[in-house]
């Protein structure tokens, strides 16, 4: 090895700006395993997300330094790899048991692609999210995407939760991913590839129905539908806490939950919150969704009230750009954003997160529906990346999925407003001078009073309510 140790220690990488440690959730390999470069070897949770870390070198695992559940500082070794296992046993002074003998290379703070490829990598089987509380996209039950690969970015703050159930991994019982053969080229257009990536569908496993055997959007969606099992009846069950002899249970505050708490406290005591409420008759909006579901081009889409709320918010921001802004104490400015990164609050097993749809204001209604579906599935599978949670400009939280009428949400740091959607219930309502049963919901919007005064906040909330009351008329009048 020309003076370079065969046994190389792999250090805990920096998975995001400002992070100093990570908790090892699960090892995909064990001592003695032969691994390929860029093969996922461990799942680590930081204060921002849970991510899978790939191997920096191909070779054989000679040592694992930390067990599952251990919290490890960035830069500390977590695994040792013999990069030339075919050469026989390593020299005694190169043995894994002797920690100081390892030769560490410069660490590159990226998630995948640790330098030029030197070995043939193998694909691992994707995981598919199963099991879940069948909350509609509107309820923000949030489904699987590809393993996170973006570069580290600042984390956003989570907001009010939405329902999410635990994912079920397709990995073998031993906890290790199954190796798959080399990648087979497939014919598929870029939008289809993106959809497959968002939904966690392996294109190489599909048979295309398009021209020349190309894979179509319908092929991808059919594969997703076929793989989705019926919701488990036990999904709503809550595990009984395990109490100690003192009849108390203690849960460490770490990871996503710790960051959530810090961000919420910072937001609550930094931005002066104002919350307004509006009760709306959304009967026509619900009927519009029903008509949309009947259209042939929408039959494979997930449609829920959240789609209408998201569209109403995007159109409202176009009317009132100040809603989509941030307060900069560093520069003493109010920064108005031309783009809208629309956050959807979601509750996961690891805590609250707010992934966002980038540049949502430029999407068609159908594209917006598909992005909401992908966001929901990715969060439900626990595969939301730091990049997906960074840079939000306006957030929506659907507390209605829990049967709650509305709430007073706390602003994610850096955002000027957040909207809560309450449960839609059949209630007595005065309609055309008579009391009738109508579909009614209550909206709650919190906003930063340094940026948004009562008039602006009230007009925006009023217009969002007007859109939900009669979306077809609003679309004709506003666009």
- Judge contact between 206 and 220, C-beta under 8 A: yes
End-to-end CA, the chain = 67
What are the beta bridge partners of residue 417? Answer: 447
Given the residues 66, 273, 431, 449, select the one marked as catalytic. 449
- Judge contact between 19 and 230, C-beta under 8 A: no
- Taking the C-alpha atoms of residue 173 and residue 106, their distance in angstroms, rounded to an integer, is 35
CA–centroid distance for 169 within its chain? 17
Tokens coding 400: 């209605």
- Judge contact between 163 and 155, C-beta under 8 A: no
Question: Could you confirm whether 273 is annotated as catalytic?
Answer: no
E strand map for 214-367: 273-281, 325-328, 333-336, 342-344, 346-348, 351-353, 356-357
**Kind and range of the H or E run holding 427:** strand 425-431
What are the beta bridge partners of residue 180? Answer: 123
Residue 386: which residues within 8 A CB-CB, separation 6 or more?
Answer: 15, 16, 48, 49, 51, 148, 150, 152, 153, 155
Alpha-carbon torsion 152, 154, 155, 156, what sign? negative
- Taking the C-alpha atoms of residue 262 and residue 50, their distance in angstroms, rounded to an integer, is 18
CA–centroid distance for 332 within its chain? 32
- Taking the C-alpha atoms of residue 233 and residue 239, their distance in angstroms, rounded to an integer, is 14
Tokens coding 332: 């003493």
Which DSSP letter does residue 476 get? H
**Kind and range of the H or E run holding 311:** helix 305-319
Q: Which residue has the tokens 């830069």?
A: 75
* C-alpha triplet 397, 400, 402: angle, nearest 5°: 105
- Judge contact between 133 and 236, C-beta under 8 A: yes
Residues marked as catalytic: 449
């Amino acid at each position: 090895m020309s003076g370079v140790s065969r046994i190389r220690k792999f250090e805990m990488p920096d998975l995001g700006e400002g992070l100093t440690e990570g908790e090892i959730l699960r090892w995909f390999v064990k001592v003695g395993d032969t691994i390929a470069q860029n093969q996922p070897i461990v799942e680590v949770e930081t204060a921002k997300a849970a991510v899978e870390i790939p191997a920096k070198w191909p070779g054989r695992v000679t040592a694992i330094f930390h067990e599952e559940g251990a919290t490890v500082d960035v830069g500390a070794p977590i695994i040792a790899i013999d990069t030339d296992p075919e050469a026989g046993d390593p020299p005694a002074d190169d043995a894994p048991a002797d920690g100081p003998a390892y030769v560490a290379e410069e660490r590159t703070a990226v998630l995948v692609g640790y330098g030029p490829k030197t070995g043939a990598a193998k694909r691992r089987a994707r995981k598919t999210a199963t099991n879940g509380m069948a909350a509609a996209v509107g309820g923000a039950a949030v489904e699987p995407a590809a393993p996170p690969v973006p570069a580290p970015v600042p984390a956003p703050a989570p907001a009010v939760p939405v329902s999410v159930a635990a994912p079920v991994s397709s990995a073998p019982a031993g906890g290790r991913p199954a190796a798959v053969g080399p990648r087979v080229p497939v014919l598929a257009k870029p939008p289809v590839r993106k959809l497959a990536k968002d939904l966690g569908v392996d294109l190489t496993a599909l048979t295309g129905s398009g021209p020349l055997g190309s894979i179509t959007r319908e092929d991808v969606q059919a594969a997703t539908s076929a793989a989705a099992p019926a919701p488990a009846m036990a999904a709503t069950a809550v595990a009984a806490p395990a109490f100690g002899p003192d009849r108390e249970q203690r849960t460490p505050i770490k990871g996503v939950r710790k960051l959530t708490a810090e961000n919420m406290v910072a937001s609550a005591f930094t931005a002066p919150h104002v919350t307004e409420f509006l009760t709306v008759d959304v009967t026509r909006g619900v009927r519009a969704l029903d008509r949309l579901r009947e259209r042939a081009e929408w039959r494979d889409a997930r449609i829920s009230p959240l789609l209408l709320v998201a569209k109403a918010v995007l159109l409202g921001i176009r009317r009132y750009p100040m809603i989509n802004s941030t307060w900069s104490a560093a520069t003493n400015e109010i920064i108005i954003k031309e783009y809208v990164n629309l956050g959807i609050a979601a509750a996961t097993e690891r805590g609250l997160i707010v992934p966002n749809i980038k540049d949502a204001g430029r999407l068609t209604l159908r594209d917006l529906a598909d992005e909401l579906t992908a966001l929901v599935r990715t969060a439900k599978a626990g595969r939301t990346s730091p990049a997906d949670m960074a840079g939000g400009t306006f957030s929506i939280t659907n507390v209605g999925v829990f049967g709650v009428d509305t709430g007073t949400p706390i602003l994610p740091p850096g955002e000027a407003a957040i909207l809560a959607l309450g449960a839609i219930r059949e209630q007595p309502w005065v309609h055309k001078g008579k009391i009738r049963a109508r579909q009614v919901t209550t909206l709650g919007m919190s906003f930063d009073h340094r940026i948004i005064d009562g008039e602006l906040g009230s007009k925006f909330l009023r217009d969002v309510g007007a859109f939900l009351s009669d979306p077809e008329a609003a679309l004709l009048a506003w666009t």
